[in-house]
Structure 1
């Protein structure tokens, strides 16, 4: 489905952190969902793989309600977002008491932590985060991060994500396909070939599902189809 599209057409599209912060300030957060993502619910066991109480990572977490859903199941949730508005909104809207403290290893970063010790959200630039802060993770849910980062940063992003994966980590990745000549993003177009280029050397990549996600909102972007895909990535044993 990508054969006729120039996968490089969005390469020059570049959003600065301040632009994302401005979107939060202006309430332009159409990417946020008020309910737990259906594909996460459908494929949660693919991440858990029979495990209980695992450590989940949410890159560019915003105020995703999925975080509370997982914490309520007994998992520990870690997230990173450049904008503290979404993080504070999360705790407020979910009625979760929290504390705020500086992060010694990341200048100017803040940690917002639920008082029950189940949710840890870091307010900093994603690329300032590393496994040296809180270790590696057992599961990753990437619903709006890969499709939001600047296409020119994808190699850097993939390297970061791989560095955060523990040996048995299971990474659930949500992507979109559409005609990038009709819409500049975000969310950005992420073809399967790109995932193979970014992760194929280090990870096994399994396509779990592909669904028609076109709604009136997306037709207003000027596109004529939108396919949402969910993939499961695991580290290749010989490299882990």
Structure 2
């Protein structure tokens, strides 16, 4: 059945929802205004519980953290002996990450794209202050694993496939909030859409889904909220 587009003989205009333009300037402003409720002071529960599925016994691997903010997940991986590469558009969380982690670091400008490279004195943590879509393999090489905690749902929908094309590791952990409605960001991506994004060149496994609804989420206009974890392996 076609939707009714007329009311009292006059054609109705379809209702549209204006989506927020999610670009590097938007996220810089969020950090500047400290509107970063998505940041957690704890290692993500999925990474702590299911890291064996991502690491599969490998030691000293290189892990990419896209749109990393100042996540303590990077320090967790570093302390386990892994090589950490983060990509973040705002300098604020990058500096705070190193200071709060008690790590000495250096800063140098990037020469091929706009931005800076922050790295520990031992070189095992590098965070690139740049637009995610400018970041490329010439800057940091290939990765053994990717921990995407919310990056895919924090870019514009028409950029999600472009973001996926940058992910050429063997293992990808994709963790994201899932709700049926509510404000953007984060975008809503359903399980079949995850398969559409990755399934042509990867195997996609839904590892778990956890009820994450809290009282504060009622202000989003929603009544349920799950957090899903996917393991994506490049074929």
Same fold (TM over 0.5): yes
Q: Which moved more, 1:150-159 or 1:198-207?
A: 150-159
2:152: which partner in 1?
A: 146
Secondary structure (helix, strand or coil) at the match of 1:133 reads helix
2:140: which partner in 1?
A: 134
Displacement of 1:12? 4.0
Distance 1:70 1:25 in 2: 27
2:166: which partner in 1?
A: 160
Q: Is the aligned partner of 1:47 residue 2:54?
A: yes
Q: Give CA-to-partner distance per residue, 1:92-114, whole Å, 9 cap, x none.
A: 111110000012222x2100001
Displacement of 1:16? 2.9
1:3: which partner in 2?
A: none
2:110: which partner in 1?
A: 103
Displacement of 1:11? 8.6
2:121: which partner in 1?
A: 115
Q: Is the 8 A contact 1:101 1:110 kept in 2?
A: yes
Q: Is the 8 A contact 1:202 1:235 kept in 2?
A: yes
Displacement of 1:207? 0.7
2:13: which partner in 1?
A: none
Q: Is the 8 A contact 1:208 1:230 kept in 2?
A: yes
Give the structure with higher Rg (CA): 2
Displacement of 1:15? 2.1
Q: Is the 8 A contact 2:22 2:154 kept in 1?
A: no
Distance 1:228 1:77 in 2: 24
Q: Give CA-to-partner distance per residue, 1:187-208, whole Å, 9 cap, x none.
A: 2211111111111101000111
- The root-mean-square deviation of aligned C-alpha atoms, in Å, is 1.4
Displacement of 1:217? 2.3
1:20: which partner in 2?
A: 27
Q: How does 1:66-215 map to 2 (within 5 A)?
A: 66-106=73-113, 108-161=114-167, 164-165=168-169, 169-180=170-181, 183-215=182-214
Distance 1:80 1:72 in 2: 19
Q: Is the 8 A contact 2:204 2:232 kept in 1?
A: yes
Unaligned runs of 5+ in 1: 1-8
Secondary structure (helix, strand or coil) at the match of 1:179 reads coil
1:221: which partner in 2?
A: 220
Q: Which has the higher contact order (CA 8 A, sep 6+)?
A: 1
